[in-house]
Amino acid sequence: MQAQSERAANIRPIAQGSYLAPIERPKGLMMKVVYAIARRQFGKVISPLKVFCARMPMAFGQFYGKISALDKKLVLPCETVMLIRERVAQLNVCLFCIDIARYFTIQKSMNQAKFDALDQYQASSLFSDAERSALDYVTELTTNKKVEPETFSRLARHYSERQICEIVWLVASEHVFNLTNLGLNIHSDMFCDLSKRMNGGQ
C-alpha cells in the first residue's frame, strides 16, 4: 500500500508538467556526476535527465550520449543534420527537442532564418533542392512510417548511399528522444530563449 502511495505521488497531471516528478537529487554517484556536467553545460539539469535517465540504469543514459557522439561521425553537413532533427521533432511535436535543437543551432551560429522557415521549406528560397529532397523524405517517413519510391528517387539524386543511411539514422534516433519525452510529458526547458538572450537577442 505504501509503495502504491509513493508511485501515485510521482504521477502528475499534464497541467503540472511531466507525468513523473523530476528527481532533483539522484542517488548514484555516476548520475550525480552527470547532473554536474549538465549544470556546467546548460546552467541546469535538463528535464529528460531528471525525469527519465535518473530512474533507469546508467546504460540507458549512456545510450543517449552515444547517439550524440555518433552524430559527429556523420558525413552530412552539420546544418543538414540539425534541419532533419528539428523537422522530425516538429512533426512529432516534441517541445523539448524542438527547443534544445534550436539552442544548439544558435550556439553553432547556424542560419536562424532557415530554421525559422523550416515549416515552409518547400517554398522558401533559403533551402536548396538537396535539402528539400531530404526534408520531403524525413517528413514522409515520420508522418506515414513509409516512403514512396518517387520520394526516395528524388533523395537519391542528391545524396550518396551512406548519406541516405545517415538520414534514416537521424529520423530513427530522433524518435528515441521524441517519444521518450512525449511518453512522459516532458516539455521545453526554454534553452532557446536563454541562448537568444545570451547572444543579444539574435
pLDDT tens sequence across 91-136: 999 999 999 999 999 999 999 999 999 999 999 999 999 999 999 9
How many Cβ atoms from other residues are within 10 Å of residue 19's Cβ? 15
Q: Looking at the predicted structure, is the pLDDT value of residue 2 above 60? A: no
User: How much is the pLDDT for 29?
Assistant: 94
Alpha-helical segments (H) within the chain = 2-9, 29-42, 47-51, 58-71, 78-92, 95-107, 112-116, 129-144, 149-156, 161-183, 191-198
User: In CATH, what class is 74-198?
Assistant: mainly alpha
Q: Report the range of poorest mean pLDDT among 62-66, 71-75, 123-127.
A: 62-66
Q: Looking at the predicted structure, is the pLDDT value of residue 76 above 50? A: yes
Domain boundaries, the chain: 2-70, 74-198
Question: Could you tell me the pLDDT band of residue 191, with boundaries at 50, 70 and 90?
Answer: confident
200/123: higher pLDDT: 123
DSSP 32: H
At residue 4, what is the residue type?
A: Q
User: How much is the pLDDT for 193?
Assistant: 63
* CB-based contact 143:175 (threshold 8 Å): no
Mean pLDDT, all residues of the chain: 90
**Tens of pLDDT, residues 28-46:** 899 999 999 999 999 999 9
**Model pTM?**
0.87
User: How much is the pLDDT for 192?
Assistant: 73
In whole angstroms, give the CA distance from residue 97 to residue 88: 9
Which residues fall within 8 angstroms of residue 108, CB to CB, at 6 or more apart? 78, 82
With a pLDDT cut of 70, the percent of the chain lying above it is 87
Across 165-187, average pLDDT: 98
C-alpha cell read off for 153: 528517387
C-alpha cell read off for 117: 522557415
C-alpha cell read off for 112: 536562424
* CB-based contact 126:112 (threshold 8 Å): no
